[in-house]
Structure 1
């Protein structure tokens, strides 16, 4: 019996104790919705810790993350749960997997799938729970959000997301405008891509410069191909100017057949190579490049 007792003591001693638990008192629970055209946030402040929040950026689905403004967890890993409420007998907790925890104000971000399951759980009365053990063995903690008042707040969050731009800066800053038919006129697909970029530039005035790089396939001679690539880049520039982008914010280059995306070995590949690459930039006003660069200058990698 003594040996069994000592063995049990050994097992319990090896388990990390939950040294810290962070949870806001029930009567103080609140959900906050904030956002603009670029990002919407749905957050619950957590007493002495910071907040747990769902974040949806333009062009993406929501993720869940912690913000540590009080106590910061150490680097390590955490288990993410959608925990059943005490008033839901017979229902077990849902283990949503592990997340990597790092140092800093934003210790971790979940995947979009995990965030979606947390939202579903909250709608069903479950609590997001994060159980964390520091890598250095300094202790364990549990962070818990409560589903009180969530449904109304989530409705406000959804309303915010209807106002998001179609894409965020990382998604919109590089694009290809194709000329698959071999001409120099913009088609509907090309105009639609440009309209997305224009909508972003209108919403974010810090994006104040556009680089255009015209390209062709190798169907004609080099001089003809260079001229085609120039006229395609000019077609894009004219469209941007017609929508209010000043010419001094546009840099235009043209490269002919010099920089194919794919080998010019068949019609489909040649169609892909007939394009204008677009790159949006944030440039300080006193560093704006000249509007038009020399033909055949260094190729854009956008």
Structure 2
């Protein structure tokens, strides 16, 4: 396979500046849909080149990327188009802006806006086209065709409907507030933790939860330290009640030591009454030992 591409490149290098188009023959066009709870992919193989692929991660809109067996387009920038079909007289191409070409297997990732407009164009019979102008004046194009797209897009939408609400980058850190004081989780806090819980159950590689409890400075230091402990404990109990082993949870508490905002008014103090929650992927041999907690000897009043 590699020798075939090297031979093609040798032929192209010996030719004068010209237009070169990569696309699959009409009768061989196919769209494939793959995915799980974390990501859905809708792709079309491109003969002698690679593939064009729409990728939608959980919690995000789709992007479009171009994958190549070999970096035939070279570096620099290229123009992304939603091109009108030859059988659509009077309709011009839609210029979606430029993309920066890389040198790896994935030549570029479009913006979410560009991908959305490409999908809309495919539904109208348009072709996603990547057009690259070389320094020698030649033009190279990579073209996907809209043949059989509607059926594949329906399958892709079915995959999208099963995605988790958020991806790991979006859920890995969160903050649970206790704006009214005390140690009980309110509805907003439980909803936020529920999203994290869904991800934990879907991805067993996320196997460690770090909890850091905090307070404002309303009470004395001993009271505040205990309040921060009991708030972190409330979050721990939520996870344990929903099937997360205690061995996967590390709890720390800091009292008033690390405020988010100066404790100068009621609104700022409300922000400081919180538990920071962080999800991690930790190899079993590296899991930290739980930190011993201070005894509870203060009432929940701040």
**What TM-score, normalized by structure 1, do the two folds share?**
0.89
- 1:4 corresponds to: none
Q: CA deviation at 1:139?
A: 5.4
* CA distance in 1 between partners of 2:53 and 2:279 (Å): 30
- 1:193 corresponds to: 192
Matches within 5 A, 1:36-185: 36-133=36-133, 140-185=139-184
* CA distance in 2 between partners of 1:165 and 1:273 (Å): 30
* CA distance in 2 between partners of 1:17 and 1:226 (Å): 73
* CA distance in 1 between partners of 2:240 and 2:272 (Å): 24
Q: CA deviation at 1:223?
A: 1.1
- 2:209 corresponds to: 210
Q: Unpaired runs of 5+ in structure 2?
A: 1-15, 295-302
CA contact (8 A) 1:133 1:141 kept: yes
Number of matched pairs? 279
Q: Residues 264, 71 of structure 1: CA spacing in aligned structure 2 closer, same or farther, 3 A cutoff?
A: same
* CA distance in 2 between partners of 1:44 and 1:17 (Å): 28
CA contact (8 A) 1:72 1:105 kept: no
* CA distance in 1 between partners of 2:282 and 2:72 (Å): 36
Q: CA deviation at 1:92?
A: 0.5
SS at 1:225's partner residue? Answer: helix
CA contact (8 A) 2:17 2:137 kept: no
* CA distance in 1 between partners of 2:255 and 2:237 (Å): 19
Q: CA deviation at 1:153?
A: 0.7
Give the aligned CA root-mean-square deviation in angstroms: 1.6
- 1:3 corresponds to: none
CA contact (8 A) 2:71 2:103 kept: no
* CA distance in 2 between partners of 1:280 and 1:293 (Å): 20
**What TM-score, normalized by structure 2, do the two folds share?**
0.89
Deviations 1:236-276 (A, max 9, x none): 01111111111111111001111111122221111111100
Q: Please say if 1:284 is aligned against 2:286.
A: no
Q: Residues 31, 274 of structure 1: CA spacing in aligned structure 2 closer, same or farther, 3 A cutoff?
A: same
Q: CA deviation at 1:292?
A: 2.9
* CA distance in 2 between partners of 1:38 and 1:294 (Å): 36
Q: CA deviation at 1:140?
A: 4.0
Q: Residues 265, 67 of structure 1: CA spacing in aligned structure 2 closer, same or farther, 3 A cutoff?
A: same
Q: Unpaired runs of 5+ in structure 1?
A: 1-15, 296-302
